[in-house]
Structure 1
Amino acid sequence: MVLAYGFTEYGGPQTQSFFDVSLPPPGAGQIVVSVRAAGVNPADWKVRAGTRKDTVPVTLPAVLGREVSGVVTSVGPRVTEFDVGDEVFGSTATGFGGYTEATVLNASQSAHKPAAVSWADAAVIPVACGTAFDALHDLDLAAGATLLVLGAGGGVGTSTLTLARARGITVLGVASAAKQDAVEETGSLWVDSGDLWADAVAALAPSGVDGVFDLVGGEPLQRAASLRRPGAPLISIADSVAATELGGSGVERRRTTAVFTAVAELVADGSLDPAVRQRFPFEQAGSALAAVESGHSAGKVVIEFDHASEADPSEPGD
């Protein structure tokens, strides 16, 4: 058995608690990892709230989280790229969470952690950094192009800004005043997300922007679509249906070893800062999620685990 943090029924934070879970041996193409750090994302509380029942089915009680870094303790059949003792990171397998002492990953959605990358930074690569990497791949903008990012101050937003700037793209990042520094630190142009943000964008890009990446949805997405030059791509992770209706699309998430390895190399050489801004010990997992659910956290939030005196999670529990 391993200790985990999750929710016992759909609802608010009051449904969250610690509980023990039984960890099965890894199946074909899977690995078990002793978790060192877990990324915390808005999707976590949205799954708990039940707003994603149609796309993210869960079995209650459910462990929160979907991205971790850790040490491999067991490998399943047909796994050749990882061995026990390897330091890795990746997306949790279906039915498993990240806020737990040990969990199961799909080998095809995991990668080796470079020595130069911290546990915390590695843990947030699959969701935020990976989404940003895939979004820019889908947008396919050339150096010199202008990209508009809505919701630019969060984990996905700041990763997108950094990666886009590295490609020579001019970025207009729409975010609250509290996140101005996070936007400008990437070399992007900050646009206040107040009522006049669209007017500010139109003034900065009078001929229209060359691409839009939306992380907000709703009316801002509608307005952003009108700020594009003809034929400019638009993608959204907040509302892919509305984006499609506006001539755009969602992000095609690849979540592969190759993508995760490429992003980790960018982190290792200093090209990409995963923007981990808050760290909580596992005992404060609820506070970590509350920080994200408040909507005021800039950058990424991570839960860290102390395994100084752990039992091997690959061994059978009581």
Structure 2
Amino acid sequence: MFAAHFDRFGPPEVLGVGPFPEPHAGPGEVRVRVRAAGVSPVDLSLRAGTSPSAGRLALPHVPGVDAAGVVDEVGPEVTGAAVGDEVFGAVDVARLGGASAQFAVLRFWAAKPAAMPWEEAGAAGTSIETATRALDLLDAREGTTLLIDGAAGGVGSVAVQLAVARGLRVIGTGRPESGEFIARLGAVPVTYGEGLPARVRALGAGRVERALDLAGAGGLRELVGITGSAASVVTIADFTGPELGVRLSLGDLGGQPHGRHGLAVAAALFEQGRFRLPLQKVFPLAEAAQAHAFAAHEPRRGKVALTVSAPPGDHREQAPGAPV
């Protein structure tokens, strides 16, 4: 098959696209012929070697944790999936990648709505899982006001929509230029950064009962002050959270409850016209290095995706025009 991969840590330029051994579905997994894959922050930090998990990688490594495609191999112990199904989801977290390729193995997945663009489906998996997991932890009931710090990013833009669908009133922080984007998602926009409590009060939204930190920008103390309790705040990005009594939620994509349930909910909302995966930019797989560079330097406003098109003739050779 062809795949994006790197054999050393470094800048985006270490990524090439060329032949790579095919993966195969294990117990509880399906393999898909990938139509689109996402580019996530974890992919960037692993490639750069700055992630604490980078030492676990066996090089060369194929990045990518999210993918959508057509099932072509079903592993043992799998029910409810068959060859030919169109699905979207994510890899097993232990693999730390593998989705930016012609074939990828998914650990959790759901049926892709027929009308959902492949690019949206391919970039959605971990954002939906993360947002669902965090919202479940917050246990915010209908009518609750939730503040999402980092509402314009890949996870934030999903979390806003899922929270609104649960009947929550949402306030979302972001850069000033992201205000209109955040409002379109369904949240009341407010500029992030120092002085946030005063800006939130100025909105006149009343009591804020819950807060979700997706930015990891050191604002947890302010979020605790806004909600009045560390127990009312969850972070996915600030590892100092437990020191303040704030719950830190880390992904476990091998654990299916949040992943599969969240994907199914998002798919149903899409079909109701109540959910879209905002895409900031889409690149072909042959431009994986450019996609990583863009995702690293542009302000986040939705997700970055890669499209994977099969070459003519032998589909297990490299993509046309792809650097080796």
Would you say same fold, with TM above 0.5? Answer: yes
Q: Residues 98-130 of structure 1, C-alpha deviation per residue, up to 9 Å, x if partnerless?
A: 111111222xx1222121322122222211122
1:249 is aligned, of 247, 250, 269, to: 247
* Helix, strand or coil at the partner of 2:105: strand
Q: 1:230 to 1:74 in 2, by over 3 A?
A: closer
* Helix, strand or coil at the partner of 1:62: coil
User: Who is 2:167 aligned against?
Assistant: 168
User: Who is 1:103 aligned against?
Assistant: 104
Q: 1:246 to 1:139 in 2, by over 3 A?
A: same
Q: Residues 56-104 of structure 1, C-alpha deviation per residue, up to 9 Å, x if partnerless?
A: 8211111111010001112223333222111111212343511111112
Counterparts of 1:310 and 1:136 in 2: how far apart (Å)? 46
State the shift of 1:185 in Å: 0.7
Pairwise mapping of residues 20-39 of structure 1 onto structure 2 (< 5 A)? 20-39=19-38
Pairwise mapping of residues 116-265 of structure 1 onto structure 2 (< 5 A)? 116-204=115-203, 208-230=207-229, 233-239=232-238, 241-251=239-249, 253=251, 254-265=257-268
User: Who is 2:283 aligned against?
Assistant: 280
User: Who is 1:304 aligned against?
Assistant: 307
Q: Please identify, of 117-126 and 189-198, the stretch whose mean Cα deviation from structure 2 is larger.
A: 189-198
Which amino acid in the other structure matches residue 43 of structure 1? V
* Helix, strand or coil at the partner of 1:73: strand
State the shift of 1:196 in Å: 3.4
Counterparts of 2:7 and 2:260 in 1: how far apart (Å)? 32
Q: 1:266 to 1:304 in 2, by over 3 A?
A: same
For normalisation by structure 1, the TM-score amounts to 0.88
Pairwise mapping of residues 11-22 of structure 1 onto structure 2 (< 5 A)? 11-22=10-21
Counterparts of 1:194 and 1:214 in 2: how far apart (Å)? 12
C-alpha contact 1:68 1:124 (8 A) present in aligned 2: yes
Aligned length: 310
Which amino acid in the other structure matches residue 39 of structure 1? G
Counterparts of 1:275 and 1:205 in 2: how far apart (Å)? 28
Q: Residues 127-154 of structure 1, C-alpha deviation per residue, up to 9 Å, x if partnerless?
A: 1122212221111112222211111111
C-alpha contact 2:23 2:103 (8 A) present in aligned 1: no
C-alpha contact 1:182 1:299 (8 A) present in aligned 2: no
C-alpha contact 2:154 2:300 (8 A) present in aligned 1: no
User: Who is 1:316 aligned against?
Assistant: none
Q: Residues 212-235 of structure 1, C-alpha deviation per residue, up to 9 Å, x if partnerless?
A: 100122422232222212465111
Counterparts of 1:162 and 1:306 in 2: how far apart (Å)? 30
C-alpha contact 1:151 1:214 (8 A) present in aligned 2: yes
Q: Quick one: percent identity of the two aligned structures?
A: 33
State the shift of 1:202 in Å: 3.5
Which amino acid in the other structure matches residue 276 of structure 2? D
Q: Please identify, of 192-201 and 252-261, the stretch whose mean Cα deviation from structure 2 is larger.
A: 252-261
C-alpha contact 1:207 1:229 (8 A) present in aligned 2: no
C-alpha contact 1:277 1:301 (8 A) present in aligned 2: yes
C-alpha contact 2:3 2:102 (8 A) present in aligned 1: yes
Gaps of 5+ in 2: 252-256, 317-324
Counterparts of 2:221 and 2:50 in 1: how far apart (Å)? 22
Q: 1:99 to 1:258 in 2, by over 3 A?
A: same
C-alpha contact 2:129 2:263 (8 A) present in aligned 1: yes
* Helix, strand or coil at the partner of 1:286: helix
Q: Residues 246-300 of structure 1, C-alpha deviation per residue, up to 9 Å, x if partnerless?
A: 2221236445433322221112221111112321111221222222111413111
C-alpha contact 2:129 2:259 (8 A) present in aligned 1: no
